Homo-oligomer: A and B are copies of this chain.
Amino acid sequence: MKKELLMTPGPSQVPHEVAAAGAVPIMHHRSGEFKEIYGKLTEDMKKVFGTKGDVFIIGSSGTGAMEACVVNTLSPGDKVIVGITGKFGERWQKLCETYGMNVVEITKEWGDIVTAADVHRALDENPDAKAVFVTYSETSTGVRTPIEEIGPVVDKTGALCIVDAVSALGGMEMKMDEWKLDLVAAGSQKALMLAPGIAFLGVRGEKVWKACERSTIKKFYLDMKLYKKAVEKKSYTPFTTSVSLCLSLRAALDMLFDEGLENVYARHSKLAAAGRAAVTALGLELFAKFPSEIETVFKVPDGIDGLELLRIAREHYGVRVAGGQQPYKGKIVRIAHMGYCTGQDLIQAVAAIEMALVELGAKIEPGSGVRAVQEELLK
């Protein structure tokens, strides 16, 4: 019998009621009934983003929403500051370079973060920068960037603060307006508990729309103005939207609001604390210097094959966790605890990793990580 627990940083587990909500006879996207649902969804998503601005639902992966941030607000030759601490910071860089921006990098080693002081310095040195790009939870390394400190620094300048919250939104606190974040991109298949397929774009206000007016990059499917116009005309979506995923989103938001967003964030924090406690109890080393709340990342001990560790956890113990990307392939293990994830799930994951480590000859005490999770949960 095969039963797999998905503990990867996207896709993540989808609750049965969320999956089932989308598996109904299809509704026409221009029907009054669907428009009402869709309008309510975008209003409710504003609560999750923490903005009184706009939230648009885009039929794409998270990368589509990230690309929308770039192509709507900037022009070739614009100077931009990009914080790079892992694979998704590199994606901002690649997107900006693709569109001919002049990229000033703030590069830190993987596992480290970009701080408000780093951004302050970069903006001082580059007062002509048009935007600052950062990654809230960099899932390739498991760090949390202090966007609540970076936003206010950027806000004092003419630059836009643009945030990748693809994996974080719904699992980690987000206060776009209070934190002065101009554009925030998010995905469906992470903390929001949906299947992949839709992405979200939060827009704080006038500073963004003025930048849109200046942008000379051509776009159509990702043209934010078409989305804005559609909302204003009450047709809500300029192109045929993913009806089934929107219905799933309704179910997911109902679950999040029933639990209460504050409680959702507290659950993620608790899981993160428990994950870190397990790693420490096992005598392993945490990889992230400033850990995110949706993921725990540890270094594979010397002499252990990290890819084999993943395979054994998956094939022998039914737990799928993620390995490292690019330079860290085989070197780190990433346990995601985002979205539809409980303490019991984390116990399973830690137990599977313990057993895989034992199989590979690591000198760890099986059960010690699990006990650390339990102690944290019992607090």
| Cross-chain contact A25 with B11 (CB below 8 angstroms) | no
Q: A196-B241, A220-B94, A221-B64 are in contact. Are A13 and B25 (CB under 8 A)?
A: yes
Q: A19-B23, A99-B218, A320-B31 are in contact. Are A60 and B59 (CB under 8 A)?
A: yes
Chain A 204-244, CB-CB to B under 8 Å as 1, else 0, gives 00000000000001111110000000000000000111111
In the bound complex, how far is the Cα of B298 from the Cα of A45, in angstroms?
Answer: 41
Task: State in angstroms the CA–CA spacing of A99 and B100 once bound together.
Answer: 16
Contact A13 B31 (CB under 8 A): no
Categorize the interface residue count of chain A: 35 or more
Q: Judging by beta carbons under 8 Å apart, are A320 and B28 in contact?
A: yes
CB contacts (< 8 Å) of A27 on chain B: these are 11
Q: Chain B residues near A187 (CB, 8 Å)?
A: 240
Q: Which A residues, 82 to 115, have Cβ-Cβ distances below 8 Å to chain B? A: 94-95, 98-100
Chain A interface main SS type = loop
Query: CB within 8 A of A22: which of B61, B239, B244?
Result: B244
Q: Does B61 lie within 8 Å of A195, measured CB to CB? A: no
Task: Give how many copies assemble into the complex.
Answer: 2
Is the pair A67, B26 in contact by a Cβ cutoff of 8 Å?
A: no
Q: Does residue A292 face the partner (Cβ distance < 8 Å to B)?
A: no
Cβ-defined contact, B26 with A6, below 8 A: yes
Is A368's CB within 8 Å of the partner chain B? no
Taking a contact as CB atoms closer than 8 A, the residue among B8, B12, B29, B189 that contacts A11 in the complex is B29
Contact B60 A221 (CB under 8 A): yes
User: Once bound together, how far apart are the Cα atoms of A25 and B19, in whole Å?
Assistant: 8
**Bound Cα distance from A222 to B219, whole angstroms:** 11
Within 8 A of B (CB), among A1-50: 4, 6, 8, 10-14, 19-20, 22-29, 31
Task: Please report the C-alpha to C-alpha distance between residue A240 and residue B13 in the assembled complex, in whole angstroms.
Answer: 15
A26 / chain B contacts, CB cutoff of 8 Å: 6, 11-14, 19, 189, 195
Q: In the assembly, what is the distance between CA of A98 and CA of B239, in Å?
A: 16
Q: Which residues of B contact A195 (CB under 8 A)?
A: 22, 26, 242-245
User: Is A63 engaged at the interface, CB distance under 8 Å to the other chain?
Assistant: yes
A166: nearest chain-B partner, CB-CB: B240
For the complex, is A197 an interface residue (Cβ under 8 Å from B)?
Answer: yes
- Bitwise, A58-76 to B at CB < 8 A (1) or not (0) is 0111111001000000000
CB of A98 within 8 A of CB of B218, answer yes
In angstroms, Cα B241 to Cα A189, docked, is 10
8 Å CB contact of A240 from B4, B24, B67, B189: B189
What residues of chain B lie closer than 8 Å to A220, measured between beta carbons? Answer: 63, 67, 94-95, 98-99
Residue numbers of A with Cβ under 8 A of B are 4, 6, 8, 10-14, 19-20, 22-29, 31, 59-64, 67, 94-95, 98-100, 187, 189, 195-198, 217-222, 239-245, 320
Given contacts A14-B244, A61-B221, 18 further A-B pairs with CB under 8 A are A4-B25, A11-B26, A11-B28, A11-B29, A14-B26, A19-B24, A19-B26, A19-B244, A59-B60, A67-B220, A98-B219, A99-B218, A195-B243, A196-B241, A196-B244, A197-B244, A197-B245, A244-B245
Closest 3 CB pairs of A and B: A197-B242, A23-B23, A195-B244
Could you give 8 example pairs across A and B, Cβ below 8 Å? A8-B28, A11-B240, A59-B64, A62-B239, A64-B239, A94-B220, A100-B218, A189-B240
